[in-house]
A = this chain, B = another copy of it.
């Protein structure tokens, strides 16, 4: 295996789908220093290679699947992969992080990442066997759900490969289709439909090499220490080990931020019913599942063995799904949430966007924008779990009203008119995640300012601080920008390294891990600068696409409709103050464009020069 530098394979694998040719190319070691790898490297490559002229569904758009320097080593919870492209949901920067076993296998095969370019004439899948790369006819897999695709492909290949694929939703260009990696999903931003447009059904990879590290003994010691940190952190010890993310339903409800009936309120009368505790009490949770070299195991092997949804088996639902297909659809039938989760996974859909799209349809129905005639006779009242389960395949296959809903809430509301836009809960086109910003302002920052649009993992991530540990004032806006900024930097450093967001090791620990693996010396400050750099690359990408202050607003509901019940009752969120607070600490101007001073300070003068030449930056 080619490994020129500890921690790095030193090569990117470019797949030209138009010519069905591959090329392994070395990549700039300078960029490893500036962006680490993973999300950072992918973002920088996207900025360089995919311009405003390149539409999401065009030959010019590219899909990046990027591993990072600590992946495939002894370091725990370091199996993530950054999937990056121009998003068909938002038309701007698109990112989804995913775990599993693909990313370390890719490293072992001798690549730091894959870049998918162009578009194939016919459905195709790619088999990567160390240096050997083969394009094969995927005709027989086209139309298959993700579980069957991987099952039959593994059987054909012999079972030794790690696989990523799309389901019918990706093939049908649903704008919130996921890329599926084993049973995990790179779910946000509709990147599965980019793969579908390129007619790339799947990638299978096998690597026989090892990831070179600078100091094996040190790596082992640091890895052991990191494992212990993960074990001992209060959140993981008291909480994660038992339920993964699934008991957030109760916690969020207690705080009054559990999105309910399309974010109309933050308190759900059925919160207990859809909690991890309920699934456990009913005997559905049968075990834990995790990614490569993970002892935390956030996945829950969930099996419904009775009732009308018997036979549903998933590795979730995680909190994101419990809220989106549960409370946010007014649905307290947890079995239906599990079944809906399975459907989303097998059809290749982002569960968050799917749930928010369904809840949007339900609110339109309840408010009379849609009648039974419009909905193919489906009674879309909140809480009708049969309707939820019925809508999901219609979306994936674009049948009936599913066809319009497959465009996501922003575009669907545009088609619908009649004031539906008010019920489209998104920022920049991305359906928002499972926390009501009226009761958790850090989430408001994250959703308003996230480079990928309205996601709770969009900018920084203050959920532990605001909700789990309650160590900061969850309503305050002013002065919180700095926390969000710093957390966003840490997140981007992790996503670039690539470490899991659920690892509770701190940025200092990550620096130690990176130093042991690469032989370079990293410190917390440096990682913060790297994270800030990545954030500015992403923002620069978006402003080049036309994003400005006007786009950094949460849905009007959060700004104008006071929370009707619960602990956050009466509250709205002050979006103006939020932007002012964040732009100031981020070093962005009043329109949210990174300033010359900031870009030059963090080594992005080249980006400044381009933005200035375009008349964007001053």
Q: Please tell me if the beta carbons of A301 and B140 are within 8 angstroms of each other in the complex.
A: yes
Q: Which B residues are CB-close (under 8 A) to A143?
A: 286, 303-305, 310
Cα–Cα distance between A147 and B152 once the two chains are bound (Å) = 12
Q: Which B residues are CB-close (under 8 A) to A57?
A: none
Q: Please tell me if the beta carbons of B152 and A301 are within 8 angstroms of each other in the complex.
A: yes
Q: State the majority secondary structure of interface residues on A.
A: loop
Cα–Cα distance between A91 and B590 once the two chains are bound (Å) = 82
Q: Please tell me if the beta carbons of A310 and B393 are within 8 angstroms of each other in the complex.
A: yes
Q: Please tell me if the beta carbons of A347 and B311 are within 8 angstroms of each other in the complex.
A: yes
Cα–Cα distance between A301 and B141 once the two chains are bound (Å) = 9
Q: Please tell me if the beta carbons of B152 and A311 are within 8 angstroms of each other in the complex.
A: no
Query: Which of B141, B142, B151, B347 is within 8 Å of A151, CB to CB?
Result: B151
Cα–Cα distance between A393 and B304 once the two chains are bound (Å) = 13
Query: Which of B168, B286, B310 is within 8 Å of A141, CB to CB?
Result: B286
Q: Please tell me if the beta carbons of B313 and A145 are within 8 angstroms of each other in the complex.
A: yes
Q: Please tell me if the beta carbons of A140 and B306 are within 8 angstroms of each other in the complex.
A: no
The distance from the CB of A262 to the nearest CB of chain B, in whole angstroms, is 27
Q: Please tell me if the beta carbons of A305 and B147 are within 8 angstroms of each other in the complex.
A: no
Cα–Cα distance between A30 and B347 once the two chains are bound (Å) = 55
Q: Which B residues are CB-close (under 8 A) to A140?
A: 286-287, 301, 303
- The answer, yes or no, to whether A144 is at the interface (CB within 8 Å) is yes
The distance from the CB of A140 to the nearest CB of chain B, in whole angstroms, is 4
- The answer, yes or no, to whether A160 is at the interface (CB within 8 Å) is yes
Query: Which of B147, B393, B399 is within 8 Å of A147, CB to CB?
Result: B147
Given the known interface contacts A143-B303, A303-B144, the answer about A393 and B311 at a Cβ–Cβ threshold of 8 Å is: yes
- The answer, yes or no, to whether A139 is at the interface (CB within 8 Å) is yes
Cα–Cα distance between A301 and B143 once the two chains are bound (Å) = 12
Q: Which B residues are CB-close (under 8 A) to A308?
A: 399
The residue in chain B whose Cβ has the minimal distance to the Cβ of A148 is B313
Interface residues of A in 356-389 (CB under 8 A from B): none
The distance from the CB of A104 to the nearest CB of chain B, in whole angstroms, is 15
Cα–Cα distance between A147 and B312 once the two chains are bound (Å) = 11
The distance from the CB of A25 to the nearest CB of chain B, in whole angstroms, is 32
- The answer, yes or no, to whether A159 is at the interface (CB within 8 Å) is yes
- The answer, yes or no, to whether A397 is at the interface (CB within 8 Å) is yes
Q: Please tell me if the beta carbons of A168 and B311 are within 8 angstroms of each other in the complex.
A: yes
- The answer, yes or no, to whether A515 is at the interface (CB within 8 Å) is no
The residue in chain B whose Cβ has the minimal distance to the Cβ of A182 is B155
- The answer, yes or no, to whether A85 is at the interface (CB within 8 Å) is no
